[in-house]
């Protein structure tokens, strides 16, 4: 992909918001006048099974590729247990970014020193703000804090479109995650 197109791969579990996360990022990018495409990758998986979702965001050239993302610039992991089940970093570009939902400190991931890292306890935020442990909007907050790929304000309308009356709670969860995300550069 060109430098002007950012590719993001989301790892989650069925029913836990990876597809919605990708869709939210694409809608917010489009609201800013960028081009974006989001799409899921799953087959006959059941709720709770590992799934992937993808989003491409372009600051200029049109997005012509509509395939799964195998060499992402960014990987977002909604369920930290997937790290021991799936190779979430497969194809992650050198110096790329890994965003993980975890209670652990940044230095708890020595296996990821070749990539930039962002961590957030998205589960706790979702539980406290939303009353459920679905972390899609909290992880979007962490992603935008670590990347600036879109502005947080650009999510207001997409959140209303997707969550209706729960949009405000989801925006608060996103804002809190944005504030609490910790980042580390490549060592």
- Residue by residue, DSSP assigns 115-150 as SEEEEE-HHHHHHHHHSS---HHHHHHHHHHHH-SS
| C-alpha 3, offset from chain centre | 19
Q: How many domains does the chain have?
A: 1
Non-local (6+) Cβ contacts of 171 within 8 A are 137, 155, 156, 159
Contact 68, 41 (CB under 8 A): yes
Task: Considering only CA atoms, give the Rg of the chain.
Answer: 15
Closest alpha carbon to 116 in 93, 86, 140: 93
Residue 187 located in a structural domain: no
Is 156 a member of any domain? yes
The CATH number for 68's domain is: 3.40.920.10
Instruction: Per residue of the chain (187 residues), give pLDDT as tens.
Output: 446 899 999 999 988 889 999 999 999 999 999 999 999 876 555 667 888 999 999 998 899 988 899 999 999 999 999 999 999 999 999 999 999 999 999 999 999 999 999 999 999 999 999 999 999 999 999 999 999 999 999 999 999 999 999 999 999 999 999 999 999 998 7
Q: Would residue 12 count as lying in a domain?
A: yes
Structural domain contains residue 167 = yes
**Which stretches within the chain are classed as H helix?**
18-31, 122-130, 136-147, 156-163, 167-180
- Which pLDDT belongs to residue 49? 80
69 touches 5 (CB < 8 A): no
Distance separating alpha carbons of residues 150 and 144, to the nearest angstrom: 6
Domain annotation covers residue 99:
yes
- Nearest Cα neighbor of 100 from 81, 69, 133, 78 is 78
pLDDT, residue 66, reads 84
Q: Tokens 């799409």 map to which residue?
A: 39
What is the SS3 assignment for 101?
Answer: strand
Domain range spanning residue 82? 5-182
pTM attached to this predicted model: 0.94
Place of tokens 């006048």: 33
pLDDT at 2: 46
């Amino acid at each position: 992909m060109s430098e002007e197109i950012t590719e993001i791969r989301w790892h989650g579990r069925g029913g836990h918001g990876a597809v919605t996360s990708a869709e939210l990022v694409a809608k917010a990018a489009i609201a800013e006048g960028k081009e974006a495409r989001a799409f899921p990758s799953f087959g006959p998986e059941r709720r709770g099974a590992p799934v992937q979702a993808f989003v491409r965001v372009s600051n200029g050239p049109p997005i012509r590729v509509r395939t799964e993302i195998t060499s992402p610039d960014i990987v977002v992991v909604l369920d930290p247990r997937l790290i021991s089940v799936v190779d979430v970093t497969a194809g992650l570009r050198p110096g790329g970014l890994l965003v993980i939902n975890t209670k652990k400190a940044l230095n708890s991931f020595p296996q990821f020193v070749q990539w930039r890292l962002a961590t957030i306890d998205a589960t706790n935020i979702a539980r406290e703000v939303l009353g459920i442990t679905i972390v899609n909007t909290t992880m979007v907050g962490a992603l935008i804090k670590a990347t600036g790929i879109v502005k947080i304000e650009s999510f207001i309308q997409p959140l209303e479109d997707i969550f209706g009356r729960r949009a405000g709670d989801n925006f608060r969860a996103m804002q809190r995650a944005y504030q609490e995300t910790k980042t580390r550069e490549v060592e």
